[in-house]
Structure 1
Amino acid sequence: MDIKGFAQKTVIVVILLCLAGVAGVVAFSMKMANYANTPLDPQGLERTFEVSRGKGLSAVAHDLEEQGLASHPAWFKLLARIQKTDSKIHAGEYILSPDMTPLEILNVLVKGRTILYRLTIPEGVTMVQIAALAAQAGFGPEEEFLDKASDPVFAASLGVEQETLEGYLFPDTYYFNKSASPEKVITTMVQRFHTVFKPEWEDRAEELGLTVHQVVTLASIIEKETSVPDERTLVSSVNHNRLKKGIKLQSDPTVIYGIRDFDGNITRKHLQTPTPYNTYTNKGLPPGPIASPGEAALYAALYPAETDYLFFVAKGDGGHQFSTNLRDHNRAVRKYQLRR
């Protein structure tokens, strides 16, 4: 065979191989498109599917097959790689169904459309109590929560230059997916605090000669002292007036916070036992918050009512009697506490 004939045959062979390759690519593309857009069972029912933290694509693809949601794990993995989402699947619980196509399932997992669980934190609870509530809701063990919330380096990373995050875990209703870690829960709560504590409030604190930490501390005392909305600014005024006059705050909730394993019964001995949080033995504010104050308590701490009140006593109906002097206060104590 001459050189010219060999060259012609070579060209023909190359063209045929190219055509075969193109045909193969087309066939593969059609198969992949068919797989990606065909549900496993058009009559299938919804079910819960969980992607655990740290679980890789291969394990997820096999779980989908085992639970009857998608077939051929290798094809599902390949689909994810073609979509460039093989490393973008989010952990959490999902509602999936066999009547969804593999591509639809993949999109749900990538977009993180998880089932959300509610966590409600009431005003006036402590960091320890919040850890227990988070653990009860399934967001990690209490110990892990408390370790993270008591880490000053982590607190600083969230904009709180304090030893712990007591007082900064803002009370609200939150929604998290099942896999949310204590770190995620804590971060969300502190971010919520920063959203509520507006820049103008920081300016107001400076105007009052207080740091933000002192405002949060005062607000936590107000939160614990009264549950009556209209009384918050009055309680705040009592504390502001006492601070200005150098009078000890004498707040029972601060004493209780400083007692380890408090049994619910505050005694004279408790009031006389020095702790950093005992405002009967120490002047001024305690070293930090004693609970998580809500927005209204924070506002009251910053904008107290203009009064001359220096005392208040519980009346037994949820409210308090306020007094400007010790004589009237003692009379109120006899009336409402001693019932004389």
Structure 2
Amino acid sequence: MAVLFRDFITMEEISLDRSDQQPVNEKPVKNRNRSAGPSRGRITFWVIVSILGFFILLAASALFYVWNGLRPASQGEARQVELKKGMSPFKFAETLEAEGIIRDSFLFKYYLRLKDEGPRFQAGVYALNPGMDKDTIITVLNAGETLKKETIRFTIPEGFTIEQIADTLSKAGYVDKEAFLKLADTDRSWGDAEAARGIPKDKPSLKHRLEGYLFPETYELEKDSQPEAIIIRMLMELDHKLDSLPENWEEPMLERGIDFHALMTIASLVEREVVVDEERPIVAGIIYNRLDKGMPLQIDASVQYALPAPKERLLEEDTKVDSPYNTYRVKGMPPGPIASPSLKSIEAALFPEDTDYLYYVTKKDGSHEHLFGRTLKEHNRNIAKSKESAKQGGANNGN
């Protein structure tokens, strides 16, 4: 009995021990073995929230970068910045950033693209303040509100020779006279100046190569402009004045069988001989008439140019000077211009008055007008009249 009871107890203990174990083939009880971490749905939720947060933060950072990069830079004193000719607006944006005018050139470039700005920017030196609004900067660059540079100003009167021009510039302290003349005598091209290309290369007898081509005018150039820049500016002014002539103005010149260099030579003779504008076409016509007849021009102004120094009054011996510019000894025209002609003299050489005059003499009454003659006999009478008027003028002055 005791043995059976002990065995019963033992079996019961064994049964109790196995009661805590889950049968092998028995389905697991729900939630009994669930892990302690968050559920899969909750994990997905937080992943999505994190990604959205990241993109929101990224977008906010980008917006802040753009806002900060395009807002005005810190205030400061005006700075001079140069937009050089040919420089792209995008390259200039880098200059603006380097000078502290804008914060970010990269963003400024894209702002220019967005607004379709930049192509109208004008070259020059600008005074821009750090702290200027980007649209204000664009407006200033489009308007070309550049700094006015310190300049030099000089006037070359009509009829000046190139030596007189060099002397004027030298006395003003702008050039060295001898260096200027040497440069002007150089056989070379002068930038975009077109008229000067008509100077013959086979004219060794030219006293000064650019004589007559430096247009007489009042000029204003940047301070410290080099002699080359001054010469080019004056040559370009001649081109500009020629553009104001009637269309096809070269045709009368070609019909007469002369080139542009010869035209400028005749215009310079007219310039030095005539003061009254109305008489310029008449004197130009006389020059053509004498050339057509093979007569020497006998123009006093050409003799003056041939002399070492001009004289107040020419003597007969002066007309014998050995020079290709002496139109008393040499038939035809001198090798080139003897001075810088005005536009009116150029027009007179282009469109001379059709007359049969062959002679002219200056009135000696102070009017600067001329008496014109068709024959030598008539010319001599005019000379006598001129002398008589001079005597009368002297008597009147004495009274």
Fold shared by both chains (TM-score > 0.5): yes
Cα distance change of structure 1 residues 49 and 100 upon mapping to structure 2, 3 Å threshold: same
Residue 8 of structure 1, CA deviation: 10
Q: Does residue 240 in structure 1 map to residue 288 in structure 2? A: yes
**Residues 189-208 of structure 1 aligned to structure 2 (within 5 Å):** 189-208=237-256
C-alpha separation in 1, matches of 2:252 and 2:191: 23
Residue deviations 1:31-82 (CA, integer Å, cap 9, x gap): 343317x9768xxxxx99695989x979x8699x8xxxxxx35748778766
Residue in 2 aligned with 1:30? 67
Cα distance change of structure 1 residues 183 and 306 upon mapping to structure 2, 3 Å threshold: closer
CA contact (8 A) 1:135 1:142 kept: yes
CA contact (8 A) 2:167 2:177 kept: yes
CA contact (8 A) 1:170 1:293 kept: yes
Amino acid at match of 1:330: N
Q: Does residue 188 in structure 1 map to residue 236 in structure 2? A: yes
**Residues 45-60 of structure 1 aligned to structure 2 (within 5 Å):** none
Residue deviations 1:293-319 (CA, integer Å, cap 9, x gap): 223212221232232322222223211
Cα distance change of structure 1 residues 48 and 204 upon mapping to structure 2, 3 Å threshold: farther
Residue in 2 aligned with 1:229? 277
C-alpha separation in 2, matches of 1:330 and 1:283: 22
Residue deviations 1:309-337 (CA, integer Å, cap 9, x gap): 22222223211222223334334334435
CA contact (8 A) 2:215 2:238 kept: yes
**Residues 103-142 of structure 1 aligned to structure 2 (within 5 Å):** 104-105=136-137, 108=140, 112-114=144-146, 115=148, 121-130=156-165
Residue 195 of structure 1, CA deviation: 0.7
Residue 234 of structure 1, CA deviation: 1.7
Residue 245 of structure 1, CA deviation: 1.6
Work out which of the residue numbers 367, 370, 374 in structure 2 matches 1:324: 374
Greater relative contact order (Cα < 8 A, sep 6+): 1
Amino acid at match of 1:279: T
C-alpha separation in 1, matches of 2:232 and 2:138: 24
C-alpha separation in 1, matches of 2:48 and 2:318: 99
Q: Does residue 279 in structure 1 map to residue 324 in structure 2? A: no
Gap regions ≥5 residues in structure 2:
1-36, 86-90, 202-208, 392-399
Work out which of the residue numbers 242, 249, 256 in structure 1 matches 2:304: 256
C-alpha separation in 1, matches of 2:346 and 2:239: 16
Work out which of the residue numbers 214, 232, 252 in structure 2 matches 1:169: 214
TM-score, normalization: structure 2? 0.61
Work out which of the residue numbers 318, 339, 343 in structure 2 matches 1:291: 339
Gap regions ≥5 residues in structure 1:
42-46, 66-71
CA contact (8 A) 1:91 1:179 kept: no
Secondary structure of 1:313 counterpart:
strand
Secondary structure of 1:153 counterpart:
coil
CA contact (8 A) 1:138 1:178 kept: no
Cα distance change of structure 1 residues 11 and 49 upon mapping to structure 2, 3 Å threshold: same
CA contact (8 A) 1:90 1:111 kept: no
Amino acid at match of 2:159: G
TM-score, normalization: structure 1? 0.70
Residue deviations 1:12-36 (CA, integer Å, cap 9, x gap): 8777666555434422332343317
CA contact (8 A) 1:239 1:249 kept: yes
CA contact (8 A) 2:192 2:236 kept: no
Amino acid at match of 1:169: L
Residue in 2 aligned with 1:153? 188
Amino acid at match of 2:63: V
Mean CA deviation greater in 280-289 or 9-18: 9-18
C-alpha separation in 2, matches of 1:136 and 1:247: 41
C-alpha separation in 1, matches of 2:66 and 2:169: 48
CA contact (8 A) 2:81 2:128 kept: no
> Identity across aligned pairs (percent)?
30
C-alpha separation in 1, matches of 2:312 and 2:136: 55
Mean CA deviation greater in 104-113 or 271-280: 104-113
C-alpha separation in 2, matches of 1:141 and 1:13: 78
C-alpha separation in 1, matches of 2:63 and 2:371: 85
Residue 203 of structure 1, CA deviation: 0.9
C-alpha separation in 2, matches of 1:161 and 1:274: 27
Residue in 1 aligned with 2:257? 209
Residue 211 of structure 1, CA deviation: 1.8
Residue in 2 aligned with 1:305? 353
C-alpha separation in 1, matches of 2:355 and 2:291: 14
